[in-house]
Amino acid sequence: MAGGLREIKGRIKSVQNTRQITKAMKMVAAAKLRRAQERAEASRPYADKMREVVMSIAAGTSGAKHPMLQSRPVKKTGYVVITSDRGLAGGYNGNVLRMVSRTIDERHTSKDEYTIIVLGRRGRDFFKKRNYSVIEEVVNLSDSPTFADIKNVTRKAVQLFADEQIDQLYLVYNKFISAIQQEPTEVQLLPLSGIEKVEGTPTYDFEPSADEVLADLLPKYAETLIFSALLDAKASEQGARMTAMGSATDNASDMIDRLTLFYNRARQAAITQEIAEIVGGANALE
């Protein structure tokens, strides 16, 4: 019985150590979440203003002719998939990867019909292990990424469409709803859709011409959408990790309570047995 008590006590100590780690990870994720959420919100005014200018030009006759606004027969589709480099974030990565896998299975019959640009080690490992068509990867991104970190890959994604190597480009990531809710989201990035002038949008004068400004601005706008999605995904990652580590901490506390109760009962039983043996021995000597 003494050996059994030592084993239970060791398990309690092990779970206590685990709880300390998950609690610390929860606190770190909470701090990173605040910063990531602030950065995601700070990027929106720039994206909104750029969209406003793009809509103002694209709503005109000249904008409608730009290739990035025109649909064409789809022979090959590109996907930009945003995941994390690390795990321990609940269903954060799994939800996005399942969405991409299901979408590819439904839309395509061979690897020649699609290609993937993946951000994050988890997504990279998932797709390569299953032999998906991955053309570009970015790993080891900071928790506070800058546009320079993904500038090359975003430009390559847009250039693939401009060179007609792909005919559609989709962006798949976890949209940040709240600290406890992240929604796997697919957005058609190219050709740009829903670009129309809204009532009350200012009218701009352009130099050298609206066509030239649009030609320069549309690729940058598409790149901005990818970066904004990355910032949103980073906030979602920290929210998912904070929630997962909070649940793990609560589960560890419950397990410690159960093991402590079991330990006390076993210890009480051992003491009772020892008393019974002492009394039995004393009676035998009478």
CA dihedral over 105, 108, 110, 111, signed as positive or negative: negative
Is pTM beyond 0.75? Reply is yes
Q: What is the CATH number of domain 43-243?
A: 3.40.1380.10
Query: What pLDDT sits at residue 66?
Result: 73
Would residue 252 be called left, alpha or beta, if left means φ above 0 and alpha means ψ between -120 and 50 degrees?
alpha
The burial of 42, by beta-carbon neighbours within 10 Å (0-12 exposed, 13-18 middle, 19 or more buried), is given as exposed
Q: What are the boundaries of each domain within the chain?
A: 2-25+247-285, 43-243
- Rg of the chain in Å (alpha carbons): 28
Taking only the tens place, the pLDDT of each residue in 108-130 is 999 999 999 999 999 999 999 99
Query: Three-state DSSP class for 199?
Result: coil
CA dihedral over 268, 269, 274, 276, signed as positive or negative: positive
* pLDDT > 70 fraction of the chain, expressed in percent and rounded: 90
Query: What pLDDT sits at residue 167?
Result: 93
Query: Three-state DSSP class for 224?
Result: helix
Q: Which residue, among 71, 88, 159, 73, has the nearest Cα to 122 in the 3D structure?
A: 88
Query: What pLDDT sits at residue 1?
Result: 52
- pLDDT band at residue 53, thresholds of 50, 70 and 90? confident
Beta-bridge partners for 136: 117
Average pLDDT over residues 230-248: 94
- pLDDT band at residue 204, thresholds of 50, 70 and 90? low
Count of alpha carbons within 13 Å of 141, Cβ hemisphere only? 30
Select the CATH number that applies to the domain covering 2-25+247-285 from these four: 3.40.50.2300, 1.10.287.70, 1.10.287.80, 3.20.20.140: 1.10.287.80
Q: How far is Cα 37 from Cα 122, in angstroms, rounded to an integer?
A: 22
Beta strand 77-82 with 181-190 is unpaired
* pLDDT > 90 fraction of the chain, expressed in percent and rounded: 53
Taking only the tens place, the pLDDT of each residue in 128-137 is 999 999 999 9
Asked if 85 and 123 count as a contact pair (C-beta separation under 8 A), the reply is no
Query: Three-state DSSP class for 134?
Result: strand
Beta strand 181-190 with 168-178 is antiparallel
The mean pLDDT value of the chain amounts to: 87
Torsion of CA 157, 158, 160, 165, to 10 degrees: 120
